[in-house]
């Protein structure tokens, strides 16, 4: 029997029982489509995070007060702070050779008012370096000017949202606002740049770091952000930072330095695991589809007993019968996989249209894995029914029942 005839015979059999064929196709297609969609989502999430991190600026290091035992983990939330990280510490770091920029950061919330309008705003005390490091952009005026970081000038740069809520459509540039009991002059308004990893810049006001420290009445910085000259120098800079701070802190290692790469790879690991997990869950539906194929093929074998007996009477070998039913199961799962791939891609396309910011993409490995699983599935779950068919005794099968 020629292979093309085997396939044609299988196809005819599938078209001969449209209801069961559609049922199995649907199950297979859903399984494959969900594997493809879920991996696309997981992969998209990974890319999204990576993209966000680059938008944060490149080759950055974050220096946090307090020692964290885990290297490369997320910032310690409840670490004790034995010694403050001061503005002097930050300035000392600018002398490290491969450091491009240093932005000391102080964070706190304070009431901000303009005329009769009041609002609680997140204040970010920093220097001109923050502009480059966070890759900010101005819609009006200018950012904090470069200058002596220890001078606490009364100037402020407003986030887009803060400006809108305090001033509405009115001009804010040059206006005096009140933060707690001090007066600050608005020198710039930032563009509505999106949220970047939990920190919504449009909901903040940036003031000189010295002003912020005196406003909050503290010496201690929230963190220091460094930008290395290049990616290759990041690790060297990290070592230097630890050394410089140790010298300044009487030989104590009481800071944590996290590189952007380390954070990124942590997220990457988490999201990859997540993707694999949801893919695994989706793959279960493929197995379910496989079992369905097996059941449907078993029903088909018992429905077609006389047909099988007849084929044997016509001189079909057992191996031919086996091949016929296996082919049928494979054609079924292949067609199901094909439809599933189409549905998966269509779904990904629709989602991509709905959320343009989300870099949705079907990873090639998942496509290959889904289709391969579907095929192997069809074969494995097709074997039992096919064997049953090939073992059928033709005399029994053809006997009147």
Q: Please say whether the dihedral angle defined by the alpha carbons of residues 94, 108, 137 and 189, taken in this order, is positive or negative.
A: negative
Helices 318-354 and 260-303, packing angle to 10 deg: 140
How far from each other are the two terminal CA atoms of the chain, in whole angstroms?
30
Could you tell me which of 333, 360, 276, 287 has the C-alpha nearest to residue 37?
360
Residue 150's CB is within 10 A of a number of other CB atoms, namely: 12
Q: Which residue has the tokens 């494979």?
A: 330
Instruction: Give the residue with the Cβ less far from another protein, 150 or 391.
Output: 391
Residue 335's CB is within 10 A of a number of other CB atoms, namely: 19
Could you tell me if 220 and 212 are in contact, meaning their C-beta atoms sit under 8 angstroms apart?
A: no
Cα separation, 219 vs 209, in Å, equals 10
- Which residues make beta-bridge pairs with 223? 105
CB of 35 to another protein, least distance (A): 33
Could you tell me if 100 and 236 are in contact, meaning their C-beta atoms sit under 8 angstroms apart?
A: no
Phi then psi for 188, rounded to 5 degrees? -170, 160
CB of 26 to another protein, least distance (A): 21
Could you tell me if 156 and 201 are in contact, meaning their C-beta atoms sit under 8 angstroms apart?
A: no
Q: Which residues bind another protein (CB under 8 A)?
A: 1-2, 5, 9, 12-13, 15-17, 306-307, 309-320, 394-395, 398, 400
Instruction: Give the residue with the Cβ less far from another protein, 34 or 300.
Output: 300
Instruction: Give the residue with the Cβ less far from another protein, 1 or 372.
Output: 1
Could you tell me if 173 and 114 are in contact, meaning their C-beta atoms sit under 8 angstroms apart?
A: no
CB of 1 to another protein, least distance (A): 5
């Amino acid at each position: 029997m020629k292979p093309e005839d085997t396939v044609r015979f299988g196809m005819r059999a599938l078209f001969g029982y449209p209801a069961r064929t559609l049922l199995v196709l649907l199950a297979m297609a859903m399984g494959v489509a969900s594997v493809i969609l879920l991996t696309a989502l997981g992969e998209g999430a990974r890319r999204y995070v990576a993209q966000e991190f680059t938008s944060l600026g490149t080759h950055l290091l974050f220096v946090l007060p307090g020692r964290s035992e885990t290297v490369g983990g997320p910032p310690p939330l409840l670490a004790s702070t034995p010694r403050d990280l001061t503005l002097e510490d930050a300035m000392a770091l600018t002398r490290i050779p491969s450091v491009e920029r240093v932005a000391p950061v102080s964070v706190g919330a304070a009431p901000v008012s303009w005329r009769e309008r009041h609002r609680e705003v997140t204040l970010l005390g920093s220097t001109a370096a923050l502009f480059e490091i966070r890759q900010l952009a101005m819609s009006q005026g200018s950012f904090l000017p470069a200058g002596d970081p220890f001078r606490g000038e009364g100037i402020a740069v407003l986030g887009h949202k803060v400006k809108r809520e305090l001033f509405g459509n009115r001009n804010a540039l040059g206006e005096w606002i009140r933060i707690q009991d001090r007066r600050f002059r608005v020198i710039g308004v930032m563009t509505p740049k999106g949220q970047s990893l939990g920190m919504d810049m449009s909901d903040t006001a940036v003031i000189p770091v010295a002003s912020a420290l005196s406003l909050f009445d503290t010496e201690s910085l929230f963190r220091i952000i460094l930008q290395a000259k290049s990616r290759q120098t990041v690790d060297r800079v990290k070592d230097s930072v630890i050394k410089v701070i140790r010298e300044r802190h009487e030989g104590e290692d009481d800071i944590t330095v996290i590189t952007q790469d380390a954070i990124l790879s942590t997220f990457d690991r988490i999201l990859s695991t997540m993707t694999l997990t949801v893919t695994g869950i989706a793959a279960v539906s493929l197995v379910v589809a496989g079992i369905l194929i097996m059941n449907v093929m078993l029903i088909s074998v018992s429905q077609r007993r006389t047909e099988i007996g007849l084929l044997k009477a016509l001189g079909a070998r057992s191996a031919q019968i086996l091949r016929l039913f296996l082919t049928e199961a494979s054609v079924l799962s292949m067609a199901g996989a094909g439809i599933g791939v189409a549905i998966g891609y269509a779904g990904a396309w629709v989602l991509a249209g709905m959320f343009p910011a989300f870099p949705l993409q079907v990873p090639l490995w998942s496509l290959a894995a889904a289709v391969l699983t579907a095929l192997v599935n069809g074969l494995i779950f097709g074997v039992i029914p096919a064997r049953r068919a090939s073992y059928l005794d033709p005399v029994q099968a053809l006997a009147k029942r």
